[in-house]
Structure 1
Amino acid sequence: MQLRLSILASALSLAFSVSQASAQTSGQAEPDKELPVVTVSAERTGSFKSDVVQVGTFRDMAPIDVPQTSNVVTREVLDSQADTTLFGALRNTAGVTRSQLSGSTYDNIAIRGILVENRNNYRLNGSLPIINLIDIPLENKERVEVLKGASSLYYGFVPPSGIVNMVTKRAGNNPVSNISLMANQFGGANVHVDLGRRYGTRQQFGVRVNLVKGREDIGIDNFSGDRSLASGAFDWRASDKLSFKLDLEHYRKNVSEQAAIAVPAAVNGTITLPGVPDNRLNLAGEWQKYDAKATNLLFRTDYVLSENWGLLFEAGKARTERDRNFSQFQNFNLTTGQGTLRTFFARGQEWENKNYRAELYGRLPGQLITHELTFGYTANERSADPRTQPSRDVAQNLYTPVAIAQQFPTSAFASIPSTIKDNGLYLTDRVLIGEKWQATLGVRASNYESVTTTTRYEADGLNPQLSLMYKPVKNVSIYTSYLEGREESGQAPANRANAGELLAPALSKQKEIGMKAEIAKGILLQAAYFDITRSSTTVDSSNRFVLNGLAQYKGVELAASGEVTKQLSLIASALFMDAKQLNAANAGTFGKIPDNTPERTASLFSEYRLQSVPGLALSGGLYYVGNRPVNNENQAFVDGYTTVSLGVRHNTVIAGQRTTFQAVLDNAANRNYWSTAGNGLLGVGAPRMLKIIARMQF
């Protein structure tokens, strides 16, 4: 209680200071001047649909011109849902599930059943690969984008799950001075300050600062912790031809980690799963902390050579450090619930990514045919030092858990350091043929090297990207595309006999046919058929994480986002997929669904602004994930689930300042469900949570 009062007092003090500074700047602090009249309406300043994407070779392109499935979760959607986690944002896009972990520490995510690689598939501002081993904060992000499928042309060795790109907030033409307070019924609370300004005689300097500090509590047993964020986005328009951007962010999260539940052993080829535990259950102790911090730095400069040509250079560095006491409950009796809690200790783990990119881009205009060309080079180096210590076992019970006394590492930490160098030259030519046809031709020449103390892989190759688009009218596009990608096949996780081992890189191929249309007041509709083949992995009889031939993922994906009317906005998605493993030499997995892969998902979130009550908006969301196998042999499936979210927010004016009060209820039915599977682990979905938000704009 004392901590919560302290947080509230600090927030009010900061709000008063910001208000005073804002008033002095605008002259509103003078007593003989009246406050301006502010009219509050139910209309929004943002949209559920984005006008551009900033990912891959499609940077700053309209979504309707992107010949590949892409989804954007805008700031307006994030605010309407009060989302602060990556999975919270991505649940609005088709085929997204959690993998292995329940989300108490960070979001391990799969798209279309394919794991989103944590060290290379998450990008900042379309470029820097940041390390998703700590909850990536969204408070300083303008939107979250997903480019689904193979993306090697621009990003090198990445799996074809897709690229998750986070675009940072930047200073705009209007000053920003916002303070937000958020709290939940379990005692979690945080303060968020968002400040943005432009300076200079020509407004050539821009600064956007976001600060977050708070206490974490998500309603499960034996849980406590805190998190923080400090970020800055700076830009300088040095001249009409030269500009610079700099992004800095540092965030930390130190919380108790919920224990995972291991999948029971098969009996006669069948696995019997326990009933879903209570969603507030945590078999680990509060002392089993996950303490991680991350620092990301990205610099970019653009130079205009001529009316049609320009240069871009980017350099960035991402670093994450982590201490962890990860535990999994295993070898338990389904009748009595008695089993073993195994804890894996990690201390001083380090990951670092360095990334450089240079591009020459331009147009060759013509009367009938125009070429938009990009010549680029990217160099990426990723190093890791995942130090771990042998596990320790203690008795625990699934049905009547006992308190776990604090355990300590008893031997030296072992490590298998690794270094990956991923360099590439790429060329793309977007050919505009009249007003109705577009063709994109691209190729990447890659050089890849992966080295550990025990393994070394090298790979070179050319990967093409081809697409053809037809626009019968301006607001409709029909496209077909073929892409090839190179990918790292993965690294053996901590609970496998070959923990830390890097598997050989592999080739993935993707074919896609799709249609996009903008209708009504600005709704973007998307429909696509995709067919992806890639290397499959499995766990062998010796508990080793190994390659297992190919897997094929094919299906139809649908999406809609935008404003139906001035009062009604929505974002919706659906996936209908057929996924199979194709290794005929392994009879146990041939023709089976890859683990943790749902063949059906759907989501719908909408918000309605009431005309009868200006400033009042009501919202609701439905999120469905279908059945998923717990392993590649399909010896058991976790049931599908649907969660419900409800929300209300009201915009008003207090003391001349625009103020928003909001309440959001996630998992409104308080459903118990298996939220995650994969890698032999199960996780339980979060309990019902009521979030209360107050936001003031100065």
Structure 2
Amino acid sequence: MSTPNFAVSAIALAVLQMTSGAVRAEETNAPEQPLQEVVVTAAKTRASTASVAGFTNAPLLETPASVSVLTSQQMLDLQIRSVTDAAKFDASLSDAYNAVGYAEQFSIRGFKLDNASSYRKDGTAITGDTQIPLENKERIEVLKGLSGLQAGVSAPGGIINFVTKRPTDTPLRSVVLETRERGTLYGAVDLGGRFEDTRFGYRINAAAERLRSYIKGADGNRKFVSAAFDWQLSPQALLQIDGDYQRKSQITAPGFQLLNNATLPKVDADTMLNDQPWSRPVETTSSNVGVRFAYQFSPEWNATISANQHQFKRDDYTAFPYGCGDQDLYPGFCGNGDYDVYNYISKGEKKSPLTAQALLQGRFATAGIKHEFTGGASFFKNSEKWGDYLYDLSGVSNIYHPVVVAPAPGDSGPVSERRRDNERALFAQDIVSRNQQLKLHAGARYVQVKRDEYVGKDDKGVTVLPYAHTDIGFWLPNVALVYNLRPNVSTYVSYAQGLEHGGVAPIGTVNQHRALDPSKSKQVEVGVKADIRQDLSATVALFQIRKGLEYTDANQVYVRNGEAQNRGLEVALNGRATRELTVGVSATALNTQQHDTGSTDFDGKRVTDVAAFKSSVYADYAVPQVEGLKVGANWQYSGKKAFDAANTVFVPSYHVVNLSASYATRIGDVGTTFRAGIDNAFDKFYWRDVTPDLGGYLMPGATRTFRISAQFDL
């Protein structure tokens, strides 16, 4: 396995010295940039705006949706290096087959996100099939609930939008170095500013990471680089270009199945099942190239055109555990811990989503009624390619006493296009008001969804005709009423419809790899938001979501049958409670049920992998007696979860406590911040992920982990 050159830290410091004289930014000479709203978050403990719930940055207080935002400064303060780290602070997010070393996958409000459409970069679709880098992200915005108007095709749980960092008006030179228990090493550099011609700005980010997981042997490395440039063509015109590239290589850690398909296994959290001598890392590369042009016609009207090309490639090698041949259990491990080992190889998997969007936005008044109008069109296409994978039995091992087995011979087949998506949409929204107290949000999106699926190529290498074809149009309305009880308190009620691609039948089903038809979902939500003071906010949201239920039936066919209904309550409190105390509280209560499946085993039962109650509480205290010193703690709780659709097995609830401290000072002319933390301070064993995917797997949470870092701001 290759290891990244961790001299990135020394290189970064050298770059800082070399660029400090060649590139400068003079705030007093910088031209006015009316098109790009800059949100300064470093001096605040919470974000006050987000773009994920609409088509422009808007105050969270006035947004009729449940939205959470994590800023880049919060990511630094909390030592967040991945979305998995970030999800700990939002109770509405949960793991959903989030295997170490594979793809970070999540659910929101109990619904698993779609890797093809639920993850966004500046509002454009990117794949969620690998770890999404955070080094060049200014904010992580989470829209909870249906997003048909905003995104078109996406899972009903919501979307996660990653807002990229833009050039700074003043010089930025920052380096972060970190080490974690077991040998993880991390280094990152963040450079920003303007050239001598201050119409041109730049932002450069780079990182390298040596990964040493809490699971024995799930090691790897990651490298990342990005660049973003702004060009103020005129006072009215702004051109923005950005690109990034990431390469990650890590041995993945599969989960555990039930013993006898009935009992939770008792294992150590660091147990590795993909531990054969022939186990190889999963190799992934991903990249983005984005462009955005904005023009301000007048103070009231502007237009924006944007596009992003995402590329993803993966080579997957795994000694994969599944089933117990001796007891004819599929899925399920043997009662004594034996499990079948398969040599799984899938090379050359590729996805290339392209998104383009045009927006026209303006404000006007008619007959004393004010309008905030948005109209636009969007285009999305994606080609997915893969070859026939190798998935052959190699032998039998044991979760308590590992056995070396010889790999089954063979390799994956030739890569060809297997799925093609093409979506075109028109959308409009009008925010109507007669005064600032009451506003009506009315919008709709029409989306034409085309999908073709292919068997592959024939013996002559010619792609065969699609064996599954979809070409359907959908209207997706979204209506909300916002009423301001006071200038700092708003209430809202909303109705929305969403659309998602049908789930793809998993490996081992009769119709494996086949995607079900698109389906609509419906949501009703009411909420209250309050800015208690300038830097402290509270939100409450009550919602109901209904969607078609997808699962593998008794005949091992992946079907959509019946309905999943999730009713829930979300509560959040974020910001500065006192001068010294910063808090973050997130709690979600969910009532999930399955209906109309035609089976008494499923009807009325809880949806799998969803806790009835989940919470996260964070507190950070600035010690007044020691300038620059802060101490913090985070408590996470998750209620029990159903493992199977029939609710015969439940995974117990758990508590996890994380501790942290930081000290900010100056060393010479360099602003320096030291941070330290202990994750899972009491070394609690718990099942963090209980996924129904691939027949059902359990994944343990991380054991106690120490981490320290240093940030240098030149």
How does the TM-score come out when normalised to structure 2?
0.90
Aligned mates of 2:313, 2:384 — CA distance in 1: 10
Corresponding position of 1:260? 255
Cα distance, 1:10–1:468 mapped onto 2, change above 3 Å: closer
The one-letter amino acid of 1:141's match is K
Corresponding position of 1:158? 154
Deviation at 1:513, TM superposition (A): 0.5
Cα distance, 1:146–1:3 mapped onto 2, change above 3 Å: closer
Deviation at 1:379, TM superposition (A): 0.8
In terms of mean alpha carbon deviation, does 54-63 or 424-433 score higher?
Answer: 54-63
Corresponding position of 1:284? 274
Cα distance, 1:449–1:338 mapped onto 2, change above 3 Å: same
After superposition, what is the alpha-carbon deviation per residue over 1:459-497, rounded to whole angstroms, capped at 9, x for unaligned?
A: 212121100010021111000000011111211223433
Aligned mates of 2:23, 2:153 — CA distance in 1: 50
**Structure 1 gaps, min length 5:** 28-43
Corresponding position of 1:274? 265
Deviation at 1:265, TM superposition (A): 5.6
Cα distance, 1:13–1:423 mapped onto 2, change above 3 Å: closer
The correspondence of residues 638-653 of structure 1 with structure 2, limited to 5 A, is 638-653=651-666
The one-letter amino acid of 1:187's match is G
How does the TM-score come out when normalised to structure 1?
0.92
1:320 paired to 2:309: no
1:696 paired to 2:693: no
Alignment coverage as a number of residue pairs: 672
Aligned mates of 2:508, 2:684 — CA distance in 1: 29
After superposition, what is the alpha-carbon deviation per residue over 1:305-363, rounded to whole angstroms, capped at 9, x for unaligned?
A: 22211111111111100001242343265542122123321100001101110111101
Aligned mates of 2:597, 2:451 — CA distance in 1: 29
Corresponding position of 1:41? none
- Are the aligned partners of 1:484 and 1:507 in contact in 2 as well (CA < 8 Å)? yes
Q: Secondary structure at the match of 2:150?
A: helix
Aligned mates of 1:139, 1:693 — CA distance in 2: 15
Q: Secondary structure at the match of 1:497?
A: coil
The correspondence of residues 597-676 of structure 1 with structure 2, limited to 5 A, is 597-676=610-689
The one-letter amino acid of 1:342's match is Y
Deviation at 1:673, TM superposition (A): 1.3
1:88 paired to 2:81: no
Corresponding position of 1:419? 420
Cα distance, 1:104–1:675 mapped onto 2, change above 3 Å: farther
- Are the aligned partners of 1:171 and 1:206 in contact in 2 as well (CA < 8 Å)? yes
Corresponding position of 1:247? 242
Corresponding position of 1:57? 54
1:15 paired to 2:8: no
- Are the aligned partners of 2:323 and 2:333 in contact in 1 as well (CA < 8 Å)? no
- Are the aligned partners of 2:23 and 2:193 in contact in 1 as well (CA < 8 Å)? no
In terms of mean alpha carbon deviation, does 567-576 or 12-21 score higher?
Answer: 12-21
Corresponding position of 2:102? 105
Deviation at 1:17, TM superposition (A): 4.6
- Are the aligned partners of 1:47 and 1:74 in contact in 2 as well (CA < 8 Å)? no
After superposition, what is the alpha-carbon deviation per residue over 1:240-292, rounded to whole angstroms, capped at 9, x for unaligned?
A: 111111121111110001022234565xxxx22222x2111101127331110
Q: Secondary structure at the match of 2:516?
A: coil
**Greater RCO, CA 8 A, separation 6+:** 1
The correspondence of residues 30-179 of structure 1 with structure 2, limited to 5 A, is 45-125=42-122, 127-179=123-175
Cα distance, 1:584–1:187 mapped onto 2, change above 3 Å: closer
Aligned mates of 1:375, 1:191 — CA distance in 2: 43
Aligned mates of 1:578, 1:145 — CA distance in 2: 25
The one-letter amino acid of 2:323's match is Q
In terms of mean alpha carbon deviation, does 408-417 or 508-517 score higher?
Answer: 408-417
Corresponding position of 2:521? 508
Deviation at 1:94, TM superposition (A): 2.3
- CA RMSD in angstroms, aligned pairs only: 2.1
After superposition, what is the alpha-carbon deviation per residue over 1:164-221, rounded to whole angstroms, capped at 9, x for unaligned?
A: 00111122222110111111121111210110012244x3211110001121111211
Aligned mates of 1:160, 1:89 — CA distance in 2: 21
The correspondence of residues 551-570 of structure 1 with structure 2, limited to 5 A, is 551-570=564-583
Deviation at 1:22, TM superposition (A): 2.9
Cα distance, 1:447–1:181 mapped onto 2, change above 3 Å: same
- Are the aligned partners of 2:140 and 2:163 in contact in 1 as well (CA < 8 Å)? yes
Deviation at 1:77, TM superposition (A): 2.1
- Are the aligned partners of 1:443 and 1:462 in contact in 2 as well (CA < 8 Å)? yes
Aligned mates of 2:100, 2:43 — CA distance in 1: 29
**Structure 2 gaps, min length 5:** 26-40, 325-331, 455-466
- Are the aligned partners of 1:48 and 1:73 in contact in 2 as well (CA < 8 Å)? no
The one-letter amino acid of 1:274's match is P
Aligned mates of 1:531, 1:575 — CA distance in 2: 13
- Are the aligned partners of 1:128 and 1:355 in contact in 2 as well (CA < 8 Å)? yes
- Are the aligned partners of 1:416 and 1:500 in contact in 2 as well (CA < 8 Å)? no
In terms of mean alpha carbon deviation, does 173-182 or 579-588 score higher?
Answer: 579-588
Q: Secondary structure at the match of 2:507?
A: coil
The correspondence of residues 490-501 of structure 1 with structure 2, limited to 5 A, is 490-501=503-514
Corresponding position of 1:450? 451
Deviation at 1:238, TM superposition (A): 1.0
Aligned mates of 1:338, 1:497 — CA distance in 2: 25
